[in-house]
Amino acid sequence: MVSTTEDQKNSATQATRAAFHVPNGHKFGNGFKVGTWLIGRPRNTVVWTALRDEPALLPGVSLVFTTDGRLLVLNFTAVQLIAQTNQKAQVAAMHDSGNFLLYGSNMEVVWATFRFPTNTLLVTQELGPDKILYSSKSDTDDSAGDFKLWMQGDGNLVAYQSKSLQVVKYSYWSSQSKSNTRGVSLTFAADSRLYLVNSTGFSIRNLTGGTLPVNKTTLYRATFDVDGVLRLYQHQMGTDGSLNSITISPVLCPPGFDFADPNQPNKGCKLNSSVDNDCFLKGANDDYMISTLENTIWERDEYEVLTPVSEEACSKACLEDCYCVVAMFKDQVCFKPKLPLRNGIKNSSSPSTSFVKVRITNTKNIITKKLGKELLITGVVLIAFSLVILASSGYLIYTHQIWSLKVMTSQDCPPDVLRDINLTSFSYDQLAVATNDFMEEIGKGASGRVYKGSGCYGAGELKKVVGEVEVKLGRIGERWLGLDCGVCKQR
């Protein structure tokens, strides 16, 4: 049993110092994963990981080779099986090659880490037909990442983005094997070269070329890195170095583009400016220029093809096209690829030229223009908000006045309130009785006539009529009478 709390022991002999550990808990963040790694300075290099897409294990878990021949991880709440075998394993061994094996009762191999590569091949290891290497998500996360290297059944070794269609047309690198040969494997041979080997063991292609030193103090590994590039690394005793292989160009963004995430270049690039509507105006081309990339090609997925044209005509066609960001020129043919651009490769042997349209407008003008648009939008919003507030206020005032008028015209004052303010309400009939049907006129003026009358109606004695005004409401004639001790309510 090996626990994450125990000291880790080197399995290599003192003679070779092949720096591999038995599968153990290598640290990932706050947890651990089971794997093998190459000892290095300043840090170790993980070359195989078990259950790489599972969450990291908590400290205190144990790796156990049980008496019934199983390789397990004992967790606090569960048991995880590391090795699936068809027969019972009797012996577990770690080889200096970096291969961890389980043997049966007759010392036949029943399981080996070399049969299940993750992102790295070691010397004598192979990637068999229909097997895949997956890049890691990052240098600190060994989970399967964004790229895959697939040893296809047709004999082609092809690199894809994991989320793209798995068709050679959409690959960003291919071995371009001529014959449709079944049973081809990618083999990391003892001479430290990468070969494509057929089912009979015959090499049909050397992918690395050149001569590499082979001795007891030098180790090699081929890793499908985070950025989707297969690289051949050389490790000397006590030092780390790298030897580039098939596609070694660093990941770069073309002119006019920036990394979507500077910390993870494999996430791709994004435009650092956008095409405004003014691109369609006359003279707008003055805001752009063409940057030329020699020997550069992109995945073929164009929206327009021009032929036959010259390089100058292709460059001009992209400059004058508001939808064009990049144009490719090859053999008098101009291709305008769609966005997003995919799988750009710079290859010195490629005769293709790419033209990238880049904005050159003064940054101050861009900022001023953007600020002007923002101020205009802000002004429109403020005006609209003010109009809404004004309309709401007017509506509230109007409804309040209507409500007040309804209360005044429909609600009678209680008698006790009227007594307190020396104001009494009388009906027309009451006034007619009090004045003896308006018999004695005392006087008249511009506002009406005055009649003499008397009477007592609860609130007090009605002594005289102080005025009369005749009005017409529809077809009904009404008299309104004002009293010195009360008011006349309309009948």
Over the stretch 440-464, which tens digit does the pLDDT of each residue have? 888 777 667 777 777 655 434 444 4
CATH number at residue 186: 2.90.10.10
Query: What would the mean pLDDT of 38-51 be, rounded to a whole number?
Result: 81
pLDDT band at residue 188, thresholds of 50, 70 and 90?
very high
Q: Is the pLDDT of residue 487 over 80?
A: no
pLDDT band at residue 368, thresholds of 50, 70 and 90?
low
Q: What is residue 456's predicted lDDT score, i.e. its pLDDT? A: 55
Could you tell me if 85 and 145 lie in one domain?
A: no
Q: Is the pLDDT of residue 278 over 50?
A: yes
Phi, psi (deg, nearest 5) at residue 5? -95, -5
The distance between the two most distant Cα atoms of the chain, rounded to a whole number of Å, is: 145
Q: What is residue 334's predicted lDDT score, i.e. its pLDDT? A: 95
* Segments forming the whole domain that contains residue 429: 415-488
CATH number at residue 463: 3.30.200
Helices (H) and strands (E) in the chain, counts: 4, 37
Does some domain include residue 397?
no
Q: What is residue 476's predicted lDDT score, i.e. its pLDDT? A: 38
Specify the 3-state DSSP secondary structure of 248.
coil
What's the rounded Cα separation, in Å, for the pair 127 and 129? Answer: 7
Could you tell me if 135 and 243 lie in one domain?
A: yes
Domain boundary among 361, 394, 429: 361
Does some domain include residue 481?
yes
Could you tell me if 71 and 130 lie in one domain?
A: no
Length of the chain in terms of residues written = 491
Q: Lowest mean pLDDT: which of 85-99, 193-207, 211-225?
A: 211-225
More confident residue, 432 or 198: 198
pLDDT band at residue 57, thresholds of 50, 70 and 90?
confident
Residue 464 is inside which H or E element, if any?
A: strand 461-473
Overall number of domains in the chain: 4
More confident residue, 400 or 423: 400
Domain boundary among 116, 136, 157: 116
Could you tell me if 280 and 326 lie in one domain?
A: yes
Going by their DSSP bridges, the two strands 185-188 and 194-197 should be labelled as antiparallel
Q: What is residue 242's predicted lDDT score, i.e. its pLDDT? A: 41
Q: Lowest mean pLDDT: which of 26-40, 202-216, 342-356?
A: 26-40
Could you tell me if 96 and 10 lie in one domain?
A: yes
What's the rounded Cα separation, in Å, for the pair 369 and 277? Answer: 13
Q: What is residue 432's predicted lDDT score, i.e. its pLDDT? A: 81
Name the token pair of 263.
Answer: 């910390």
Could you tell me if 99 and 133 lie in one domain?
A: no
Q: What is residue 205's predicted lDDT score, i.e. its pLDDT? A: 87
Domain boundary among 48, 81, 116: 116
pLDDT band at residue 164, thresholds of 50, 70 and 90?
confident
Nearest C-alpha neighbor of 269 from the set 255, 253, 256? 253
What's the rounded Cα separation, in Å, for the pair 387 and 257? Answer: 44
Q: What is residue 333's predicted lDDT score, i.e. its pLDDT? A: 94
Helix runs in 64-191, H state only: none
Could you tell me if 71 and 12 lie in one domain?
A: yes
Could you tell me if 129 and 241 lie in one domain?
A: yes
Does some domain include residue 469?
yes
Q: Lowest mean pLDDT: which of 31-45, 269-283, 384-398?
A: 269-283
Q: What is residue 284's predicted lDDT score, i.e. its pLDDT? A: 60
pLDDT band at residue 406, thresholds of 50, 70 and 90?
low
Could you tell me if 309 and 426 lie in one domain?
A: no
* Cis status of the peptide bond prior to 308, with omega within 30 of 0: yes
Answer yes or no: are the C-beta atoms of 96 and 108 closer than 8 Å: no
Q: Lowest mean pLDDT: which of 14-23, 153-162, 234-243?
A: 14-23
Q: What is residue 14's predicted lDDT score, i.e. its pLDDT? A: 30
Does some domain include residue 228?
yes
What's the rounded Cα separation, in Å, for the pair 297 and 320? Answer: 21
Q: What is residue 414's predicted lDDT score, i.e. its pLDDT? A: 56
Does some domain include residue 368?
no
Does some domain include residue 455?
yes
Q: Is the pLDDT of residue 128 over 90?
A: yes
Query: What would the mean pLDDT of 369-376 be, rounded to a whole number?
Result: 67
Amino acid at 134: Y
Q: Is the pLDDT of residue 86 over 80?
A: yes
Q: What is residue 481's predicted lDDT score, i.e. its pLDDT? A: 46
Answer yes or no: are the C-beta atoms of 98 and 36 closer than 8 Å: yes
Q: Lowest mean pLDDT: which of 55-64, 134-143, 289-298, 371-380?
A: 371-380
What's the rounded Cα separation, in Å, for the pair 449 and 296? Answer: 109
Could you tell me if 141 and 96 lie in one domain?
A: no
pLDDT band at residue 177, thresholds of 50, 70 and 90?
confident
Could you tell me if 281 and 303 lie in one domain?
A: yes
